[in-house]
Amino acid sequence: MTAVTTPRKKPIQRARPGQSSPKLAYLPIIFLAFAIGVPLLIIVIYSFLEKPSQGTGVKWVFTTENYKALFVQEKLDGTTAFDTRYIKVLWTSFYYSLITTVVTLVFSIPAAMWIATREARKRTLLVALVTLPFWISILIRTYGIRQIIADEGPIGKFLGMFDISWSILYSPSATILGLIYVFLPFMILPIYASAERFDFRLAEAAYDLGAKRMTVVRRIILPSIRPGIISGVALVFIPALGSFLQSDMLGGGKTNMVANVIANNFGQARNWPFGSALAVLLIILTLVFVLIIQGIAQRRGDKVELV
Amino acid sequence: MSEKFLEIRNITKVFQTPEGGEVRALDDVTLDIVSGEFFILLGPSGCGKTTLLRSIAGLEYPDSGEIVLEGERIDDKPPYNRPVNTVFQSYALFPHMTVGENIAFGLEMENVEKAEVAKRVEEALEQVQLVGYAKRMPSQLSGGQQQRVALARALAKKPKVLLLDEPLSALDLKLRRGMQVELKRLQRETGITFVFVTHDQEEAMSMGDRIAVFSDGKIVQLDTPVEVYRRPVNAYVADFIGETNLIKGTVTSGGIALPGGNILPTEQLAADSIIPASGEVTVAIRPEDLVLATNGMIAGTVRDVIFTGDSVRVYVTVGDVEIIASLASYGTEIPAQGSQVTLNPENRAARTVAS
């Protein structure tokens, strides 16, 4: 008897191990598209609409006045003048974010290097400790730090014993302190990830070739952990630019960052179109910074992908 | 000025193990290295040879003892103040710098003038036959080329001593043989003293002017390759350097009784063999020093024959031990497996060794 084989009508197509159906990816993609795209679209549309004469919301009349109002002030006598208030707010946000980035960077490099040079088991524990703050709501943590730095808090009481006055709550310093506190782990973790991969034999080779300690750090270690530094800068600077909670709860409204002004326009000031225009400006500026950071990363040939 | 160049005096280094134990990586090691020689530190991994190299480089500080270079103590100096440089096993090239920048790095640390740096980088690349590679990144080079860059980087500094930590272990056999010849040439041309760490006895023999054989943090034997091979001080060295049949025997009148009832007459042993009046001894015979003979001194049964091209390896069961004989490929009748043969040691190359 001879075996008869019939050709298959259709080749067998089975998913390879680890390959899931693309259908499973649709739901999160659609959800993200809605959750990010729709509000963004609303903000952009609102920014070109008029504010109703009474109450909140928008009046469906096209205008570019909201964007003009970011830079130009109309006085009571009808004349116009260049308005620096919002530029100042943006500058304040930029400045606070910059300080936060620099301070967290300076703290994080030695911390990350130290963790990376511990033995494997200790490293795991230390990394877990760095991520510990993520377990607690940022709101509660900010309340916590408010208690600590309050005039009558533990620091104030301790310094009071030496007749040193302590009053930083509701000031720019408190805002910046809060930002540093919240964003520090976001700087340590990516730098640690780079530092952990660093081959410490390279440092030995540099010593051997006549380099002193600081030269080794500057010329061998820092360039090697640069991808981590760039990631850390992006992860701290960009969210810090749009942060709201710290200046609201610790700065006491005296120090407005741009997010606080936006929130105020949607709240008490009841000017949704203007708030939207400011939000669009913040998004554009953030995008510019993202592109700048990525540009630096690319020119250096580092593999850092932000966009 | 004293004749002495690099002196290692009573160096001891103890490492703590994570389990709380102690490892004596170097145990009171003393040795003198002559200027301009190719000196080999040989031993299995964990014998202390690399620790000694790192102590000379300044990457490790000994617990006690002194390291003196040209009459000046260097063991307490940081690595950047020692006129010695290292070629690392992992090459340790800086991945973010080009080949040229890698080589220039060490010179910049000495504040050498820019024009002079460029000249010496070019010179170093020439020495290792990598002219035209200055602009490449290390990741674009093969393992062998990276090895040469590591060498050029250390040589560009014109060190008094060049330390090489198993630099060829990552290369394949053919490339390794080529580099051995090249290293030897470089050492002759530059006149720099090379201290070379390896666990490969063949590499040690083919390159070294002198070899220090290490075991457990101590130097067991220090001599030229020929002497170490021909006159191993003990069974450990005999076994580690090359291939050796180590046969336990008993001293009897007129010779040594070997397993299987064979007697090796005393006059067949090397003249400087130390033979006790009685008791057990270990006889070392190299496989290539054994020949097939009619009515030879050592009788046994052929267990296996392996033809390797340039030689014929015959595994002979003698009493309860096995002896390997490496016979010349031509002019030898290859014995059949299972046949009875007798072997003779030639040229009085067999010797007793301390176990």
Query: If you write DSSP's letter for every residue of A192-216 in order, what string do you get?
Result: HHHHHH--HHHHHHHHHTT--HHHH
Backbone angles phi, psi at A102, to 5 degrees: -65, -45
**Which of B79, B92, B106 lies at the smallest CB-CB distance from A202?**
B92
Q: Which residues of B107-117 are buried (b: 16+ CB within 10 A; e: fewer)?
A: bbbeebeeeeb
Q: Residue type at A179? A: L
Check residue A303 and give its pLDDT. Answer: 58
The dihedral built from the CA positions of residue A18, A23, A27 and A33, taken in this order, carries a sign that is positive
Contact between B106 and A210 using a beta-carbon 8 Å cutoff: yes
Least confident piece of the model among A123-132, A253-262, B176-185, B232-241:
A253-262
With a cut of 90, say whether residue A80 has pLDDT above it: no
CB pairs under 8 A between A and B: 54
The verdict on A109 touching B (C-beta cutoff 8 Å) is: no
> Across the interface, do A205 and B94 touch by the CB < 8 Å criterion?
yes
Report the candidate in B91, B70, B67, B89 with the shortest Cα–Cα distance to residue B79.
B67
Whether residues A201 and B90 touch (CB distance < 8 A) is answered with yes
Q: Letter for the amino acid at A253?
A: G
Q: CA separation (Å) from B141 to A205, B4, B95, B98? A: 19, 40, 11, 11
Measured CA to CA, the distance from residue A63 to residue A49 in angstroms comes to: 5
CA A208 to chain centroid, in Å, comes to 40
Assess B140–A contact: CB distance below 8 Å, yes or no.
Answer: no
| Interface ipTM | 0.83
- Locate the domains of chain B by residue range: 6-235, 243-353
How confident is residue A194, by pLDDT bands cut at 50, 70 and 90? very high
Report CB contact under 8 Å: B79, A224.
no
Decide if B260 contacts B318 (C-beta within 8 A).
Answer: yes
Q: pLDDT (tens digit, 0 to 9) for every residue of chain B, 355 residues total?
A: 446 899 999 999 999 888 888 889 999 999 999 999 999 999 998 889 999 999 999 999 999 999 999 999 999 999 999 999 999 999 999 999 999 999 999 999 999 999 999 999 999 999 999 999 999 999 999 999 999 999 999 999 999 999 999 999 888 888 899 999 999 999 999 999 999 999 999 999 999 999 999 999 999 999 999 999 989 999 999 989 988 999 988 888 878 888 877 888 887 888 777 777 778 889 999 999 998 888 888 889 999 999 888 889 999 999 889 999 998 887 777 888 888 998 888 888 888 888 7
Please tell us whether the domain made up of B6-235 is placed in CATH 3.40.50.300.
yes
Contact residues, chain B, for A119 at CB < 8 Å: 18
**B88/A223 CB distance under 8 A:** no
CA nearest neighbour of A194 among A133, A115, A132: A115
Residues of chain B contacting A224 with CB distance shorter than 8 Å: 95-96
Instruction: Find the helix or strand (DSSP H, E) in which B66 lies.
Output: strand B64-69
Q: Both tokens of residue A87?
A: 């530029």
Out of A209, A212, A215, whose CB is closest to B85? A209
- Looking at CATH, the fold of the domain delimited by B243-353 is given as OB fold (Dihydrolipoamide Acetyltransferase, E2P) (2.40.50)
Alpha helices in chain A, H assignment, sequence order: 23-32, 38-47, 65-69, 85-116, 120-131, 138-149, 154-160, 172-197, 200-208, 213-216, 222-224, 226-241, 245-249, 258-266, 272-299
CB contacts under 8 A, A 40-59 vs B, are none
* B59, B80, B161, best to mutate vs chain A, most A CBs in 10 Å: B80
Contact A202 B109 (CB under 8 A): no
Condensed to tens digits (0 to 9), the pLDDT of residues A34-54 reads 999 999 999 999 999 999 888
Starting at the edge strand found earlier in the chain, the sheet holding B321-328 runs B290-293, B340-345, B298-307, B311-318, B321-328
**pLDDT attached to residue B1:** 43
Looking at residue B236, the DSSP 8-state letter turns out to be H
Q: Which residues of A touch B109 (CB under 8 A)?
A: 209-211, 215
- Tell me: pLDDT of A268 over 60: yes
Distance from CA of A215 to the nearest CA of B (A): 9
- Please indicate if any CB of chain A lies within 8 Å of the CB of B90: yes
Distance of CA B280 to the CA centre of its chain: 30
CA atoms within 13 A on the CB side of B226: 1
pLDDT at A306 over 80: no
CB proximity A244 to B under 8 Å: no
Contact B95 A210 (CB under 8 A): no
State whether B92 and A223 contact (CB < 8 Å). Answer: no
Task: Please state, in angstroms and rounded to a whole number, the distance separating the CA atoms of residues B56 and B42.
Answer: 16
Q: How far apart are CA A244 and CA A247, in angstroms?
A: 6
Report the pLDDT value the prediction gives residue A104, as an integer from 0 to 100: 97
Residues A70-85, mean pLDDT to the nearest whole number: 85
**Nearest CB to B59: which of A204, A219, A224?**
A204
User: Does B96 contact A at CB distance below 8 Å?
Assistant: yes
Strands B64-69 and B38-42: unpaired
**Min Cα–Cα distance to chain A from B167, Å:** 14
pTM over 0.90: no
Residues 191-250 of B with CB under 8 A from A: none
Contact B105, B41 (CB under 8 A): no
Domain ranges of chain A: 87-267+290-299
CB contact under 8 A, B96 and A215: no
How many of the other CB atoms lie within 10 Å of CB of B218?
15
Q: Which of B96, B117, B136 to mutate to test the interface with A (most CBs of A within 10 A)?
A: B96
Of A179, A173, A183, A172, nearest to A256 by C-alpha is: A172
Give the pLDDT band (50/70/90) at residue A295: confident
**Closest residue to B80, CB basis, from A119, A212, A223:** A212
Q: Can you name the CATH fold of A87-267+290-299?
A: MetI-like fold (1.10.3720)
**Kind and range of the H or E element at B182?**
helix B173-190
Angle formed by the axes of helices B114-127 and B99-109, nearest 10°:
130
- Average per-residue pLDDT for chain A: 89
What is the 8-class DSSP label of residue B310?
A: S
Whether residues A210 and B153 touch (CB distance < 8 A) is answered with no
Say whether residue B61 is in contact with chain A using an 8 A CB cutoff: no
Provide the shortest C-alpha distance from residue B240 to chain A (in Å).
30
Asked if the C-beta of A29 comes within 8 angstroms of chain B's C-beta atoms, the answer is no
Q: Over 90: is that where the pLDDT of A77 sits?
A: no
Q: Is there a contact between A220 and A203 (Cβ–Cβ < 8 Å)?
A: yes
Question: A208 and B86 in contact by Cβ < 8 A?
Answer: yes
Contact B274/A at CB under 8 A: no
Residue of B102, B109, B153 to mutate for A, most A C-beta atoms under 10 A = B109
**A37 secondary structure, DSSP code:** I
Rg (CA), chain B: 24
Nearest-angstrom CA–CA distance, B225 and B40: 10
Q: Please give the backbone phi and psi of residue A57, each rounded to the nearest 5 degrees, phi first.
A: 100, -160
Residues of chain B contacting A303 with CB distance shorter than 8 Å: none
